[in-house]
Structure 1
Amino acid sequence: MIHPLRRLLILLLLPLLLTPALAPAAHAQGRPEVAGNWLVRVAGPQPFTMTLSVDEHGGVLTPRALSRQQTIFPGAAARTDSGFVVNATAWERENTLDVAVRGDSLRGSWSTAGQAPIPASGIRLPRETLAPLTGTAVFDSVVRVLERHFYDPGYNGADWARLVADARPRIAAARSDGEAYAVISGLLRAIGTSHLNFTAVPRVPSPAPVTPPAASAPAASAPAVSWQVLSPSLGYLRIASFEPSGESLPPEVARLDSAFAAFAGLPAIVIDLRGNEGGSVDLAYRLGQHLHAAPVAAGYLVVRRGFDARGMRTAAALDPATVPTLPADLPGALLADAVEAAGGAGMLSMGGGLARTYTGRVAILIDGNTGSAAEATAAMLRETRGAVTVGARTEGAMLSSADVMVAPGWRLRYPAMDFRTAAGVRLEGDGVPLDVPADPADRAALLRAAAEALRVPTP
């Protein structure tokens, strides 16, 4: 039996003895849980959305961008009393995401050096919106798709079997989606090709997690095609993107037609493809019609079946003269099926079908952000129309890609077709040959260089 005085002493000392042990737990309960997958919306004049994975192991916070915003690269991160801070490189500039977390939502700001902070908000993604990347199920699905459909049987010179074998134990040991994502992304980067990425595309419940203030609502998107007559000798045509297709295509075709109607009597035009990252071939077809009175061979595409059926390791082994010609008016959405039906290789043709075509001289403005279908267009016009390229060498990312959902919320984009110009020139990795170097950021200097190359007065 405990003596009454001893019992009283224990009761007095007990709170003091327990407080040090309980204090850390109480402090931990007061800090928000930041780990997980977050859908973050950044407002402002050019709003964007990204999916961000935040891991926390051993007190170390690691963020990874899982979204289609491939130009966002999270770096250092730290917890705060209310949430977390992430430093990120985006569009070649340093930025900071500083947010407070409350339950399954966050709110804060996105700051770019030298600019005022922009509001940022978001939600923690429910587990059902993204299939877990931990384990090997999604990894195996990615591997299967690439082994069946990746256009190049040699995987761009990479040791595919070794890469997969090295990645498998690391994916099995991953403790979070972020860690597993890093393994899968690393596997794809090791192939060293364009049009190959793995991204989160979660479906979130309505309403959207972030509603930007009315003052920050984005303006209507600018048209893909714009033009002006610079002088009696020179017209200027800007094609910002070849993305328009479906319902968005007819208005852009109408603008293109209007431009060439205005250019009819001009001796030369400049086509500006700077920053054009490509898209579909549909608008490029219309451009080809305005510049070629009859169909011309523009370039050929080869799918995996074409390589395997011919026993080729590279499309350089294929004689362009033996490649079947595809219809000149074939919609971009049907291109891959048409190449498959043609035996795995098909020659694109552009031109013809219009009562009047432009016959003057052509220059094309290009830069390091001119990619994909825009590169193919520039290279085709250089070969078939004698167009002069002005500016800087293009991105060197000309493959035709396909998208497939490999698991709920996860999309794999992979190169499904190789591309060569009609003369057999490969643009992937090399870009479009440059005729006249000039500062691609200086429009006036580019136009002067183009006018000189076209032998017309500077506007």
Structure 2
Amino acid sequence: MIHSLNRLLIPLLLTPALASAAPAQERPEVAGNWLVRVEGPQPFTVVLSVDERGGVLTPRALSRVQTIVPTSAARTDSGFVVRAAAWEREHALDVAVRGDSLRGSWSGAGQAPLPASGVRLPRQTLAPLTGTAVFDSVVAVLERHFYDPGYNGADWARLVVEARPRIAAARSDGEAYAVISGLLRALGTSHLNFTAVPRVPRAAAANTSAPRAASASAPSVSWQVLSPSMGYLRIESFSPSGAALVPEVARMDSAFAQMAGLPAIVIDLRGNEGGSVDLAYRLGQHLHASRVAAGYLVVRRGFDSRGMRTAAALDPATVPALPADLPGAMLTDAVESAGGAGMLYMGGGLARTYTGRIAVLTDSNTGSAAEAVAAMLRETRGAIMIGERTAGAMLSSADSMVAPGWRLRYPAMDFRTAAGVRVEGDGVAPDVPAPPADRAALLRAAAEALRVPAP
């Protein structure tokens, strides 16, 4: 799924101007892999690989927790400074290193510095990326499970052959990470990234700032009766599942109970990066009196067994139905069991369904399951799309721990709507383009499109 705080970090080779030097033996050792935590209203962590050879400091981010682009770096007498572009501003991480810990600040133009702290990661927490073992594991997982036998049009065999000697020659985790992440980017697909997920020993974690206490998360579902003619349903995320799903279903039921008699409803999916199908099932029940085909999923086995290079070759009418209301966590296994392709159905099961007109608000951050829902509602309920084209990142993904401390997320299933429309790469285009950040303008546009008075 696709959030500005949840994208692949771009590794760059930086050649800094060195700070005035104290005697080398007095300087702390900065090379290694560091887990850095930045405090603030939205705390974040990043794994940073720092190399120092021949007086050149080279930091690379090894995890995708932020969209941060390093632009320069310099050694200091007490540690190092990394400057980076983030959130359309320049920021700086300025830290002092003492042994296996660091402490300092993260600052940006016009913003008060935020405290930063970190620990050098023990070797056992991250398998070394140098050599070819982890690279080979990444390649093996993709060759077995990547949904598309054509690798999204890329010359996969050539890419692997070209990358292998560069991996073998890599002198640090940072250099090797750049090779692996570059290989993945060459496939040009969503839901594909390679992430450092170290398990930090308790003694080492004690050297970083204590994590903030977990706060109750905001509800995913909210609603408002805007006027006697129009209601508003906001779905922040389709992520809730398991026990977290129960209160969200209750909120959705309450929303439709209050808005049942309204001529029109606006469903707001702006910024919704998707999640699972579990909450989407309940939405489908409220909008469809009986089961309707919502879209089909195809895994690698489905392509290979049918000799297909694209899911466009598959006649939707021949796709077997998946079990009703199948939990999202069981989807991949169910599609495998169905022969590699399966049709999702939604709707039915409620005594009363909403029959009024529907508009859906979208923006460029409406992604994955959220844009699949938007595309489905356009096909099955004639919903009107208002706002921006969606992200075009609709594939179902899976995770694999390819080595200690390293996780590969990869697209395991392609998705097409019941009519065979592909969302990945294209997104869902709006029927009525409108500024996605202007809620009032969007609601006015929705009211006009739905033929009801503006609220």
- Measured against the shorter chain, the TM-score band is over 0.9
Question: After superposition, what is the alpha-carbon deviation per residue over 1:71-114, rounded to whole angstroms, capped at 9, x for unaligned?
Answer: 23333211112111112233444322111111111111112322
Bigger helix fraction: 1
Tell me the distance in 1 between the aligned counterparts of 2:246 and 2:209. 31
Tell me the distance in 1 between the aligned counterparts of 2:86 and 2:345. 38
Structure 1 residue 211 displacement after superposition? 3.1
The one of 53, 71, 85 aligned to 2:67: 71
| 1:440 partner letter | P
Q: Quote the residue 2:166 is aligned against.
A: 170
Q: Quote the residue 2:30 is aligned against.
A: 34
Q: Quote the residue 1:190 is aligned against.
A: 186
Q: Quote the residue 1:142 is aligned against.
A: 138
| 2:398 partner letter | A
Q: 1:25 to 1:45 in 2, by over 3 A?
A: closer
Q: Quote the residue 2:297 is aligned against.
A: 301
Q: Quote the residue 1:253 is aligned against.
A: 249
Given that 1:63 and 1:75 are in contact with CA atoms closer than 8 Å, whether structure 2 keeps it comes out as: no
The one of 112, 125, 146 aligned to 1:116: 112
SS of aligned partner of 1:198: strand
Q: Quote the residue 1:399 is aligned against.
A: 395
Tell me the distance in 2 between the aligned counterparts of 1:70 and 1:400. 22
Tell me the distance in 1 between the aligned counterparts of 2:356 and 2:364. 27
The one of 57, 64, 68 aligned to 1:61: 57
| 2:449 partner letter | A
Q: Quote the residue 1:211 is aligned against.
A: 209
Structure 1 residue 221 displacement after superposition? 2.1
SS of aligned partner of 2:285: helix
TM-score by length of 2: 0.92
Percent of aligned pairs with the same residue? 85
Structure 1 residue 57 displacement after superposition? 2.0
Structure 1 residue 295 displacement after superposition? 0.7
Given that 2:22 and 2:77 are in contact with CA atoms closer than 8 Å, whether structure 1 keeps it comes out as: no
The one of 61, 65, 84 aligned to 1:88: 84
Alignment pair present for 1:339 and 2:361: no
Aligned length: 434
The one of 425, 431, 438 aligned to 1:435: 431
Tell me the distance in 1 between the aligned counterparts of 2:176 and 2:447. 52
Tell me the distance in 2 between the aligned counterparts of 1:77 and 1:112. 15
Structure 1 residue 219 displacement after superposition? 4.5
The one of 436, 439, 444 aligned to 2:440: 444
Given that 1:132 and 1:177 are in contact with CA atoms closer than 8 Å, whether structure 2 keeps it comes out as: yes
Tell me the distance in 1 between the aligned counterparts of 2:46 and 2:219. 24
Tell me the distance in 1 between the aligned counterparts of 2:450 and 2:250. 27
Tell me the distance in 1 between the aligned counterparts of 2:59 and 2:112. 23
Tell me the distance in 2 between the aligned counterparts of 1:320 and 1:94. 49
| 1:297 partner letter | A
TM-score by length of 1: 0.92
Structure 1 residue 193 displacement after superposition? 0.5
| 2:35 partner letter | L
The one of 127, 131, 152 aligned to 2:127: 131
Structure 1 residue 212 displacement after superposition? 5.0
Tell me the distance in 1 between the aligned counterparts of 2:108 and 2:217. 23
Q: 1:162 to 1:36 in 2, by over 3 A?
A: same
Segments of structure 1 that go 5 or more residues without pairing to the other structure are: 1-23
The one of 265, 276, 279 aligned to 2:272: 276
Structure 1 residue 290 displacement after superposition? 0.8
Structure 1 residue 25 displacement after superposition? 11
Structure 1 residue 236 displacement after superposition? 1.1
Alignment pair present for 1:312 and 2:308: yes
Bigger radius of gyration: 1
Given that 1:156 and 1:192 are in contact with CA atoms closer than 8 Å, whether structure 2 keeps it comes out as: yes
Segments of structure 2 that go 5 or more residues without pairing to the other structure are: 1-19
The one of 231, 252, 268 aligned to 2:227: 231
Tell me the distance in 2 between the aligned counterparts of 1:217 and 1:115. 24
Structure 1 residue 338 displacement after superposition? 0.4
Q: Quote the residue 1:4 is aligned against.
A: none
| 1:355 partner letter | A
Q: Quote the residue 1:285 is aligned against.
A: 281
Q: Quote the residue 1:382 is aligned against.
A: 378
Q: CA RMSD in A?
A: 1.6
Given that 1:46 and 1:218 are in contact with CA atoms closer than 8 Å, whether structure 2 keeps it comes out as: no
Q: Quick check: 114-123 or 199-208, which moved more?
A: 199-208
Structure 1 residue 63 displacement after superposition? 1.6
Tell me the distance in 2 between the aligned counterparts of 1:64 and 1:218. 29
